[in-house]
Structure 1
Amino acid sequence: MRKTVIITGTSSGFGKLSAKKFQQEGWNVIATMRNPEKETELHLLDHVLLCQLDVADNQSIKKAIAEGIKHFGKIDVLVNNAGYVVAGVTEEIPEEDIRRQFDVNLFGALNTMKAILPHFRANKSGTIINVSSVGGKITTPFMAVYQASKFAIEGLTEAMQYELNPFNIKLKLIEPGAFNTNLGTSMSFTPTKNESDYKNILDKAMAGYAKWGEQQQNPQEVADAIFSACTDGTEQFRYPVGADAIQILAARNQMDDVEFKSMIAQTMDL
């Protein structure tokens, strides 16, 4: 019998690749996105149901889950992939942008989990995969708002294990490094003014990120890791993905706070 996964944010990037991966592996896929009418590829695949879902809209979350259950009968796995990046000088980022970041990256994932948990508890099984980031474990310049949202999803997911494991519901985190997806192009970046005290260090940091972004890591690695986390049958909780993520997390584990801050500052020429 085919298992069923519901994935948020499947219009591009990790989400679309994950939808294809699960479908190729013989799963039913509920591929959700804000504008499914614009999708030109996934709806052509067998055993794929497209649903409208905006993680900032609770009603659309509940509707998509209900449609998926009605269509396939049961959902076995939730992949919370939808998210985006707010970056810039924290002092200068508008409050509404900061709230929107948490509405999508934290509350969107939380509300999707809350909406599907009654179904998982009734089935006495389920798996939740939350796509975090290497930025949920380490910090870098001018990414404070984004990384705070990812630190939050890490803590939320880890703590919820105690509540949900007794119902045979597993939770896992995917921690990608820098990959060639549209996440960077969809970034909400607050530019600073030329007279800003921050301009010099911001320019240096952005040059550092540009070099980091030149790494041509294949985003299929992340889709494969998401599928593996669902199916490996282990208690592994965190899945760092990408050579850069593995390397920097290993360095963080070996350094104290001062050493790590110094390393990042030197990398960014700050």
Structure 2
Amino acid sequence: MNKKTILITGCSSGFGKLTAKLFHKNGWNVIATMRSPEKETELTALSDVLVTKLDVTDQISVSKAVDAGVDKFGGIDVLVNNAGFSGAGIFEQWKDGDIKAMFETNVFGLMRVTKEVLPLMRSKEEGIIINISSLAGLIGSPSSSVYSASKFAVEGLTEALAIEYAPFNIKFKTIAPGAYETNLYSSMDNSRFSNGDEQLRDYCLKMIAKMNETVEQMIEQGNQTSDPQEVADKIYKCATEKTPIHNVSGIDAESMLQMKKSMSEEELVKTISDMVVPNTSNSNPKKK
């Protein structure tokens, strides 16, 4: 039986690197892509793993990476759109350029790679495309409104494409991870927290602090640590088993999804507000 091939974006660390190692361990050909492949040493030492440059914001880079993978392995059976970055801050603190940069990577970059791979999958009428979303793409995330908007776009796009490409036997799925200790979060740009007037800055810092405290409490209540390997395992399951279009990973993500399903919109908004919005007259917007 011919080995299957997977292309994964954002493999320099975190979910992407763990996923590349897991699929390799299970006998797959792996096209592990990243913006700076020259810095990678671990994946390059593995057989049947092609480490190559791919910048999702550059169409030429995307085309070259896909062509290199097809030249080496003959095709692509599964695509994992993992490359992306997070960001926090009250909406007014986001500069237009930062908003465009986030959508350029998280949404338009994902679209570029998907468009490049789809003709290959259509030609053989088979394929699976897995888009890494976020809990912030399922429930509007205060303090991360722009990031949340980009991930809601991913969820909506995936659902539409799952229906649109079903006649070609191409499956689309999302995985929405909760909070995990990966470089996505540890390298988050916090510079915008100082943007805006004093009221806005104070409100932002207190909201971020309360949000982090809430996430930690949710994880602790689950009596287990947040292990990024769970996401890699979920990606493998979505690539090899029958799973729904929308999937989550993590105790906090599962808990919030259950809340969304069981509560009215008014109840859900109040619950989220109680969990993450600081209760202080000094930071709340002034009433008119």
TM-score for the superposition, normalised by structure 2:
0.90
Distance 1:140 1:194 in 2: 20
Superposed CA offset, 1:70-89 (max 9, x none):
00011100000000012212
Residue matched to 1:61: 62
Does residue 46 of structure 1 match 2:38? no
After the TM superposition, list the runs of 4 or more consecutive aligned residues in structure 1 that deviate by more than 4 angstroms: none
Distance 1:60 1:193, change over 3 A: closer
Residue matched to 2:121: 120
Does residue 253 of structure 1 match 2:261? yes
Residue matched to 2:206: 204
Residue matched to 1:231: 240
Following superposition, the deviation at residue 202 of structure 1 comes to 1.4
Residue matched to 1:244: 252
Residue matched to 2:131: 130
After the TM superposition, which residues 101-180 of structure 1 pair with which residues of structure 2 at under 5 Å, given as runs?
101-180=102-181
Given residue 198 of structure 1, which amino acid in structure 2 is its aligned partner?
A: L
Given residue 7 of structure 2, which amino acid in structure 1 is its aligned partner?
A: I
Structure 1 residue matching 2:248: 3-state secondary structure: strand
After the TM superposition, which residues 17-96 of structure 1 pair with which residues of structure 2 at under 5 Å, given as runs?
17-96=18-97
- What is the aligned-residue RMSD (CA, Å)? 1.4
250-259 vs 15-24, which moves further = 250-259
Distance 1:193 1:116, change over 3 A: closer
Given residue 169 of structure 1, which amino acid in structure 2 is its aligned partner?
A: I
Following superposition, the deviation at residue 213 of structure 1 comes to 5.1
Residue segments in structure 2 that go unaligned for 5+ positions in a row? 220-224, 280-288
Identity over the aligned pairs, expressed in percent? 45
* 8 Å contact from structure 2 (residues 162, 245) kept in 1: no
Distance 2:114 2:67 in 1: 13
* 8 Å contact from structure 1 (residues 174, 239) kept in 2: yes
Following superposition, the deviation at residue 198 of structure 1 comes to 1.8
* 8 Å contact from structure 2 (residues 33, 52) kept in 1: yes
Distance 1:207 1:226 in 2: 31
Following superposition, the deviation at residue 22 of structure 1 comes to 0.3
TM-score for the superposition, normalised by structure 1:
0.96
Following superposition, the deviation at residue 235 of structure 1 comes to 4.9
Following superposition, the deviation at residue 162 of structure 1 comes to 2.0
Distance 1:179 1:236 in 2: 22
**Equivalent of 2:274 in 263, 266, 270:** 266
Distance 1:247 1:193 in 2: 33
Distance 1:246 1:53 in 2: 32
Aligned length: 269
Given residue 104 of structure 1, which amino acid in structure 2 is its aligned partner?
A: T
Given residue 76 of structure 1, which amino acid in structure 2 is its aligned partner?
A: D
Following superposition, the deviation at residue 201 of structure 1 comes to 2.4
Distance 1:71 1:212, change over 3 A: farther
* 8 Å contact from structure 1 (residues 86, 98) kept in 2: no
* 8 Å contact from structure 1 (residues 179, 213) kept in 2: no
Larger Rg: 2
* 8 Å contact from structure 1 (residues 89, 192) kept in 2: no
* 8 Å contact from structure 2 (residues 193, 205) kept in 1: no
Structure 2 residue matching 1:10: 3-state secondary structure: coil
Following superposition, the deviation at residue 194 of structure 1 comes to 8.1
Superposed CA offset, 1:224-247 (max 9, x none):
000000001x25111110111000
Structure 2 residue matching 1:32: 3-state secondary structure: strand
* 8 Å contact from structure 2 (residues 214, 275) kept in 1: no
